[in-house]
Chain A
Amino acid sequence: MPLLKIDNAELEVESGITVLQAATANRIEIPHYCYHPALETVGSCRMCIVQIEGMPKLQVSCNTFVGEAPPDKKIDEKYDMVVHTQTELVKQGRKNVLEFLLLNHPLDCPVCDQAGECFLQDYAFKFGNAHSRFEEEKRVRPSEYLGSQIVINQNRCIMCTRCVRFTRQISGTGELFVQKRGYDFKISALEDQPLDNLLAGNVTDICPVGALLSTDYIHKNRIWNLHEQPSVCQDCSVGCNINVFYQKDRIFRVSPRENHDANGYFICDIGRYGFHRFEEIERMTSPMRRDEEELTEIQWDEAIKVVAKNLSDAKEKIVFVASPFHTNETNFMLGRFQKGFFGALPLIEEEGITYPSGFSINSDRSPNHRGMNDVCPSILEDMASEIDQQNIKVMYILDDGVDRELDQEWKEILMKMDFVVVQSYALTEVAESAHIILPGLAPFEREGTVTNDQGRVQWLRPSLPLKGKARPDWRIIMEVVNTMGKQELSYSDVGEILAEMGKCFPAYEGVSLFRLGDYGLSINGKVKSS
C-alpha cells in the first residue's frame, strides 16, 4: 500500500484512489465543488487544488491518483507522494478560484435557503477574500422552473454540473443540460422533458450552493432553526437513511443520509415529500368506543379493560393482525398475546423502479415486511379463509395507516366481526370498522427498529412529539396483555423489548440500539427462528 503524506499526516492508502479521497477518508479538508463521490469526475471547479512535491504545477486532488513510486523516486526515502494543502501557493489558488466564483454571485445570503449549509458561504469564509475587487456589472438572469418542484436561481449557480451529471449517471433520465457556452452558460431542462422524475429532488441536495431549490422548502424556514434527526424512510422496503428536519411539531424537510449498505447517497421523492400526507389527517388523539353508529371518547383505563375482557372471553378465537408499517418492537409485542391466530393484510404494492445507477424504489411500499415476518409468530398465509373456517369473530388490528385501502372482501370480513380493536393514529377505513380505537403513534412519532428487504435492521428515530392522549403502540399492547392478567410485562422502552426479541429470535440476538447506531446492522446469515 502506498505511503502518502498530506501536510503532517502519514497515511497508508489503497493504490489507485485519489488524493481527495484519501484526504476525505482521513478527515483532512480539501474544499471542492464539482467532485461528488457518486458522479464521474470532471475536475472543472478547480477548487480542490493541492501542491504535490515533484510536480511543478498545482494539481486538482480529485483527479490525482496515489500509487506506489519506484524505490529511487520515493520522497524522504519512504513516501510515495507528499501533498501540501496549506501552502501559500495553495491558499492563494483557492482565493483566486473563490474570487472568480463570487464575481457574478448576487451575495443574497440573507434570503437564500442554502444559507447556513452552503459551501460557497463556508469556503468563502474559510478560504476566501473579505472584499471584492470586481467593479463591473454583474450577470443577472431570472430564476426558472426546471421541473414542477425544482427551481433554479441562475445567478447563484457555479456551474459545477453535478445536477446535469446526476440526471445522466444516476437517474439515467437526462433531463438537464448546459445551455449556451462560457460566461452565458445556464442549466436548463429539455423543453419537452422537465425534471420530474422520482429522483429529481436529489439535485437540490447535491447542489453545493443555493442554485437548485425545492419549491416544497423554499422560503419556509432557516436551516439553523431546524432540528436534524437521523432516521429511516418508511415509504418502501429499501429503508433509505434520511435526516428529518423539524421544528416543534412540524417537519420542514427530509433529505437523504449517506449509507452505502442501504440507499447510497440518495432518496426518492416519494420518501422526500411523503411526510406531507400525515399533516392534514384527522388524527386520533383519544381512545374511542363505538356506540351504535357514534364514536365517543372514553378514558384509557376503560378502553383497556373493555378490550382485555373481550379478548379473554374470545378464548383462542381471535386474529391478531400484524402490520409491516409498524416497528419490530410493536409487532413483537403483538406476539406476546400468545394465544390466537396471527395474520396480516395483503401487501401494499406499487410499481418498483430500478435506476441505471442501481438505486431502487421497491414495489413493496411498507418499511418492515421482513421484520414483521421475523418477529411475529407464524403469520397465516390465507387469513381470510382461516377466519371463515375457524368462525373467528374477534380481531385485534395493528393498523397499516393512511396508505391502506380496504377492498370489498375485507370490508365484508370486518363487518361480520363481533368485536374489532384497531390501534391507529387516524380514522382510516380499517379504524372505521372498530368497536374500540386505541390511539397509537403516527410514522414520524414512532421509535423502534425496522428491517429492510435486505435484512438490514435500522433504528427508526422519532422527530415529532406524540399527540393528545396517544401512546406508543408497543405500550398499548403491553397494557392490554397485562390487564388480561396472564403475564406481567414491564418493558420501559424499545431498547428493552429489542433485547427480549434477541432472546426469542436468534437472528436478532445482540442487536441493540447502541449497536445499530446511524447505519444499522445486517442480520443476513443468521438463521431465522420459527
Chain B
Amino acid sequence: MSDFQPILTEHIHQKECHTLSFYISVGGYSALEKVLAMSADDVIELVKASNLRGRGGAGFPAGVKWSFIPQDGEKPKYLINNADESEPGTFKDRLLINKTPHQILEGMIIASYAIGCNTAFIYIRGEFFKEYQLLEKVVAEAYEGNFLGKGILGSDYDLDVVIHRGAGAYICGEETGLIESLEGKRGWPRIKPPFPAIEGYLKCPTVVNNVETLSNLPHIINRGPEWFKSIGPEKGPGPKLFCVSGNVNSPGVFEEPMGIPLKDLIFDLAGGIKDGNELKAVFPGGSSSAILTAEEALSVNMDFDSLAEIKTMLGSAGVIVMDEKVDMVQACLNIARFYAHESCGQCTPCREGTAWLVKILTRITSGDGNSNDIDMILEITDNIGGLIDFSKGSFGKTICPFGEAVAWPVRSFVEKFENNFRQYISQEESVT
C-alpha cells in the first residue's frame, strides 16, 4: 500500500465532511483569504509556477489558460466549472462533489478572482441529481458565510455562482459544446478560433476548468508552487485521483502522486485482478485513450508525458482493467457503439465514420467478417482522427477532439489485439 498522504481527499472519510463548518475546521477558505490580499496577476503567476495541468482530459496548463483571458476590454469574463464528468470509467469528480464541495468552491473563487470574473457557473452532469441538490445547499451556505456574493470576506470582490444541469450528452463535456449547452443551445462544439478565452460564453472571455483542477488551487495557494512541483514529475505534478474499474477486486478512486506506476494502481490499490485471472488490457485514461496491452500496462507510469510516450494519454485517469476473459472484439464494438451514439453529428468524418465502424465490427462479431475489414477499420479510424502521425496529416479532421477520442481506442484494439479479430474472421472464412 502507498504511504502517500491524500491531499484532495484527506478528509473524505470524516462525517459531515461536505459541510461548511467542517471545511472551515480543517483550514478551509484560508487560501481564499490569502488570495484576496494578492493581485490577480500574482495569483496567475503562482499557479503558472506550480505547473498545474488540467485534470479534465487534455492536460493543458491551468495558469497559461487563465493568462489568455484579455485583461482589457469591456466584456464580462466567466469561469465555468466543468462537472459534466462523462468519460466512461471516470468517477472522481463525483466523489469530490459529494465529499469536498467547499474545496471545489474555494478553487472556483480563487480562479474567478484570478481572471477577474464576477459570475461563475457549475455545469453539472444531468444524471448527478443528488450532487446537484448538494451543490445548491453548499452554494447557499457559501453565500451565508460571505464566501460568495458582494464584498467577499470584506474585500471589494464580488462573485455569484450559478449551477446549471446538463441533459446527458457526452459531448457537453467538451468545453465549447458545454458553452453552447450552457447558452441553451444544442451541445455542438464550436469551430476554433475564436477560443473560449477570447469568445466563450455569450461571446465573452471564458475559462473552463475541471472540478479536480479547481480543487487543487487552495492547496497550491496555501503550500506554494514548489511544494506542488515536488509531488510527482515536475512538468505535470501534483496529487491525482485515479479511478480504477473493471475486472479488479477493489475498484474505486485512489489519490496518489502523478507518475505512480500503473501496476501499483491495479495490483496494490485495486487489489489485483478478479478471480485470479490474467491481466489482458487496460485503458489508462478513460475509453478515449489508446488501450494498453498487459505488458505495456505493467511498465508504464501514470503521468502525462510517460503515457504520451507510448502513444496513449492520461486523459481523465479513468483506468479500466480487462482480464483474459474479455472478448476484445466485443469490447471494441462496445466502445465504437458508444462513440457512434454520442457523436454530435456535425462533422462528416465523425458522424459517418463512427457508424461505419460499428457496422463493420457488428458484421465481424456476427461472423460475416472478411480479411479486408481489418485494414478498412484502420483506415477509417485514420480518416476520423488517426494516431499522432503528422506525416499523415492526422488531427484536425473534426472540429473537436471527439474524432481522436474514437479513433485512438478503436485503432489500438485492432493493432494490439489483431489476432482476436483474425480469429473471428478466419472462423467465418473456414466455414465458407
Contact = CB atoms under 8 A, between A and B. Distances in A.
Contacts of B348: 44-47, 97, 100-101, 158-159
B383 A159 contact: no
Given A41-B191, A46-B398, A58 B344 contact: no
Interface stretch (B79-87, B140-148, B355-363): B355-363
B274 interface: no
Interface string B175-219: 000000000001000011100000000000000000000000000
B243 interface: no
A176 B350 CA distance: 23
A60 B347 CA distance: 12
A42 B359 contact: no
B280 interface: no
Contact of B349 (A42, A97, A159, A178): A97
A57 B390 contact: yes
Contact of B396 (A59, A100, A139, A159): A59
A182 B345 contact: yes
A100 B344 contact: no
A104 interface: yes
A364 to B, nearest CB: 38
A134 B347 CA distance: 19
B393 A104 contact: no
Contact of B345 (A49, A99, A139, A183): A183
A43 B351 contact: no
Q: Output the residue of B340, B344, B351 with the most chain A CB within 10 A.
A: B351
Given A43-B399, A57-B390, A58-B393, A100 B345 contact: no
A183 B355 contact: yes
A104 B191 contact: no
B369 to A, nearest CB: 11
Contact of A93 (B347, B351, B353, B393): B393
Interface in B355-406: 355-356, 359-360, 363, 376, 383, 390, 393-399
B245 interface: no
Given A103-B356, A137-B359, A159 B395 contact: no
Name the interface size band of chain A.
Answer: 35 or more
B351 A159 contact: yes
B395 A183 contact: no
A100 B186 contact: no
A133 B376 contact: yes
Contacts of B399: 43-44
A181 B402 CA distance: 14
B354 interface: yes
Contact of A42 (B169, B346, B396): B346
B396 A183 contact: no
A59 B393 CA distance: 10
A63 interface: yes
A46 B345 contact: no
Given A44-B348, A57-B393, A101-B352, A136 B363 contact: yes
Nearest to A44: B346
A118 B341 CA distance: 30
Interface string A290-307: 000000000000000000
Interface residues of B, number: 35
A136 B346 contact: no
Contacts of A96: 349, 383
Nearest to A43: B191
A185 to B, nearest CB: 4
Contact of B355 (A42, A58, A182): A182
Contacts of A57: 390, 393-396
B343 interface: yes
Q: Output the residue of A49, A96, A103 with the most chain B CB within 10 A.
A: A96
A136 B390 contact: no
A170 B344 CA distance: 24
Interface in B327-344: 340-344
Interface in A66-123: 89, 92-93, 96-97, 99-101, 103-104
Nearest to A180: B345
B186 A178 contact: yes
Contacts of B355: 139, 182-183
A56 interface: yes
B370 to A, nearest CB: 8
A65 interface: yes
B346 A63 contact: no
Interface string A17-46: 000000000000000000000000111111
A89 B392 CA distance: 7
Contact of A136 (B186, B351, B359, B396): B359
20 contacts: A42-B191, A44-B347, A47-B348, A51-B393, A56-B390, A57-B390, A57-B395, A58-B393, A60-B396, A65-B193, A97-B348, A103-B356, A178-B345, A181-B342, A182-B341, A182-B344, A182-B350, A183-B340, A183-B351, A185-B345
Interface of A: 41-47, 49, 51, 56-60, 63, 65, 89, 92-93, 96-97, 99-101, 103-104, 133-134, 136-137, 139, 158-159, 161, 177-178, 181-185
Given A46-B398, A136-B359, 19 more contacts: A42-B346, A44-B191, A45-B347, A46-B347, A46-B348, A57-B390, A57-B393, A63-B193, A93-B397, A103-B356, A139-B355, A178-B345, A181-B169, A182-B340, A182-B351, A182-B355, A183-B351, A185-B345, A185-B351
| A-B complex: 5 closest residue pairs judged by Cβ atoms | A57-B396, A43-B191, A182-B343, A183-B355, A100-B352
